[in-house]
Amino acid sequence: MKKVFLFVALAVFSLVGKVHADEGMWLPMFVERLNYVDMEKMGLQLTPEELYSINNSSLKDAIVGLSNGDRPRGFFCTGEIVSQNSLMFTNHHCGYSSIQKLSTVEHDYLTDGFWAKDFSEELPAEGVSASFLVRMEDVTERMLGAVNDTMDWTERNAAIDAAAKELEAAASEDGKYNPVVKGFFEGNEYYMFVYQVFTDVRLVGTPPSSIGKFGGDTDNWMWPRHTGDFSIFRVYADANGNPAPYSPENKPLTPKHHLPVSLDGIQKDDFTMIWGFPGTTERYMTSYGINYNVDIFYPIIHDIFKLQTDVMDEFMQKDASVNIMYADDKAGLANTWKNFEGQMIMLRKNKVAETKAELEAQFAAWVNANPNRVKEYGEVLQTLADSYALVSQISSSIYYPNYVAMTGPIGISAEFGQYAADAQSKDKEVAKAAAEALKEIDAEAFFAETYKPLEDKTLVEMLKLYYNTFDAEANPEFYKLVDKKYKGDVVALANDILENSIFATPESIKAFIEKPNAKKVEKDIAYQVYNAMVGQIVNSIVPYRLAMQSIDENNHLFVKGLREFYAEAQPEKSLYPDANSTLRMSYGSVQDYQPADAIHYDYICTANGILEKYVPDDYEFDVPQRLLDLIEARDFGQYADENGELVVCFLSTNDITGGNSGSPIMNSRGELIGLAFDGNWEAMSGDVNFEPNLQRTINVDARYVLFVIDKFAGATNLIEELTIVKTPKCCKEGTHECCKKEAEVETTTEE
């Protein structure tokens, strides 16, 4: 028997009208001062204290930062607590690494899914930690009190770091908490976030990847989207409710707050709110930084990562064990290169650099109108322009050789460079220590979780990419090697490394360790290529670092001035800081959009689209037969909308970025209506400039999540654990007598 609570709130009928996107990722501690009036006008029915409180249970206590280790300083994803036993929802792609590590060919949870029937079947997600925010605190005065105008940028950063460590140590209470001080507005403000970190996190359930990753890389960042992007974990604690390492004796944590899950669904213009840990935005980036990213940095990383994932795909589709082995690596690389591809296209298409240039012109005019401002800010934009110009000239000679130097036997050879130097030292103790250190090397570890044919082809393709990118002038040592020994055939060089290098196999490394010889390392072809790559980097690294330091320093100064400019020019405008992996909230509404002339995208997509996209045996668009049967039979149960359709995903105007993956999207009452998992292609420029007419968050609908758990997987034990809420139809209409009080009814779980 499960309880479905029917909630009524009369205020909603007088407050909700047509609402619009609200830009910004806001710090919850300022919600009452900066955001609450707007949120209430848009339909919010919670008080500021119910949203964020350090003294009482509040919505913030259900939001979890997901990371690795017990002292994280940032988070790769967000989760939310949805039961009194700390059941936690997050995205499938957030749990992907844990699911991959727990999978074997015999128990392939990536392919088949996994559903624990009770606590005893839940699987430890080793290395994953769940952080709950205890409080946040403004420490700007104390941090900036540690610096003065006589310090250069390096000295300033050292003083800031020292002050942060002192504050964090004092707030940790002898290790009970994990305090993290972070800078905002390019180091013009500082806040401390105090977390309680739980390291016993266990996998409870996940759909097969054909549901959780439906559409693969093809659909990534695209709308319409039909992905059931969710997975389920649980947070455990010791008998006293405190963080503890994994132990069979640990018990599910009793949370301070958990989110009810709503079956009401969504309508256009409904108020929406997302809380989570967005990773990085660059909303105050100048036009010079945008041009550098679009023309130089993004193309480099895109080409390298795309090459590597193409090679992975070739082998992963042929072998289940290889697919499991590389699934997490490939997902991360593919997500990055497609993100950069989208940003390259949309930053140009949406004319973001031009928009920033207009702001810079206004800023420059404001500066030039006052001699004191000229003295402080007069050179900042030109310095940024010059620094980015220098970085643009240098970056290729940093990034390409860096990634080649990390590849296969070339990267392994680097581990033996110190031995080669020390073993030839005139100091006998140094030479002896080098030989002893060599014996500690685990040759097998270099090749753990690797597939040789895939790794070998990656090496060949990476060397080809490098060789076709540079000429002899850029790296004389490398080209001299290729031309002299291999007659210009870089593939022959790659094959020589794979066939003859000491570092190509664990067996050859073990043999070398048994009879070490420093000269052999120096003459090894992989090590020679490594040194050639490092040589190219060394020739560029000093000016690169100086230019990047100049960019950091002048971004700090530019944002300082920009805040002053806005304070005078637009005093009514509230500025929000860039995302930096700290708890933020954003609010908006459910909305459709028009990406181009004569094209309109609805704000929902349904299970009908799964049938339309379905391609049997296709690794991106195949789905389990049971799901097909349920959809074709329209067996959606209580998870269907009022039209009898099963909504899979929906759009909202909330402002999010990477790190918000898995974040709860909630209605006006703080009830879970879905999980945020992606942005849309047309607004890929959104990390730099919010696009209100285009920018949308893609959310998996909570009803589809429950449908998969209940109807597809039959994991009714998890459904029973949730607090599921539904507003009676009469209450939605706002006229019936039943709306004068809250009602509670019980329904049986549908079989």
**pLDDT for position 10:** 29
Residue 145: exposure state from Cβ atoms within 10 A (0-12, 13-18, ≥19) = exposed
The continuous run of DSSP H or E covering 77 comes out as strand 77-81
Taking Cα atoms as reference points, which of 328, 493, 504, 300 lies closest to residue 403? 300
CB under 8 Å to 264, separation ≥6 — which residues? 667, 671, 673, 725, 726, 727, 732
Catalytic (active site) residue 229: yes
pLDDT tens, position by position, 368-409: 999 999 999 999 999 999 999 999 999 999 999 999 999 999
pLDDT tens by residue, 692-745: 999 999 999 999 999 999 999 999 999 999 999 998 766 655 544 555 444 444
Is the pLDDT at 631 greater than 50? The verdict is: yes
Task: Please identify which of the residues 22, 61, 93, 641 carries the catalytic annotation.
Answer: 93
Question: At 180, phi and psi to the nearest 5?
Answer: -135, 120
Q: Give me the pLDDT at residue 738, please.
A: 54
Question: What's the pLDDT band for 427 if we cut at 50, 70, 90?
Answer: confident
Q: Per the residue annotation, which of 22, 229, 456, 678 is the catalytic one?
A: 229
CA atoms within 13 A on the CB side of 733: 7
Whole-angstrom distance, CA of residue 431 vs CA of residue 566: 62
Q: Give the pair of three-digit tokens for residue 39.
A: 């949120």
Amino acid at 691: E
Extents of the domains making up the chain: 2-127+199-282+580-747, 287-542
Residue 17 clears pLDDT 50, i.e. is over it? no
Q: pLDDT tens, 446-497?
A: 999 999 999 999 999 999 999 999 999 999 999 999 999 999 999 999 999 9
pLDDT of residue 57 exceeding 80, the answer is yes
Residue in 277, 307, 599, 236 with CA at minimum distance from that of residue 468: 307
Q: Which CATH class is domain 2-127+199-282+580-747?
A: mainly beta
Q: What is the pLDDT of residue 733?
A: 52
The bridge status of strand 200-206 relative to strand 114-115 is antiparallel
Give the least confident one: 195-209, 425-439, 522-536: 425-439
The predicted-structure confidence for 183-198, as pLDDT tens digits, reads as follows 999 999 999 999 999 9
Gap between the terminal Cα atoms of the chain = 11
Average confidence score pLDDT of the chain: 93
pTM: 0.91
Question: In the chain, what percentage of residues exceed pLDDT 70?
Answer: 94
Residue 85 CB coordination number (10 Å): 17
How confident is the model at residue 13, as a pLDDT? 28
User: Does 224 score more than 90 pLDDT?
Assistant: yes
More confident residue, 424 or 340: 340
Burial, 222: exposed, middle or buried (Cβ in 10 Å; 0-12, 13-18, 19+)?
middle
With a cut of 70, say whether residue 44 has pLDDT above it.
Answer: yes
Read off the pLDDT of each residue in 340-365 and give the average, rounded to a whole number: 97
Say what the pLDDT of residue 22 is: 77
Question: How far is 715 from 733, CA to CA, in rounded Å?
Answer: 34
Task: Give me the pLDDT at residue 238, please.
Answer: 98
Tens of pLDDT, residue by residue over 288-341, are 999 999 999 999 999 999 999 999 999 999 999 999 999 999 999 999 999 999
Nearest-angstrom CA–CA distance, 223 and 210 = 18
What is the average pLDDT across 659-679?
Answer: 98
Annotation says 93 is catalytic: yes
pLDDT at residue number 643: 95
Catalytic residue selected from 661, 663, 668, 685: 661
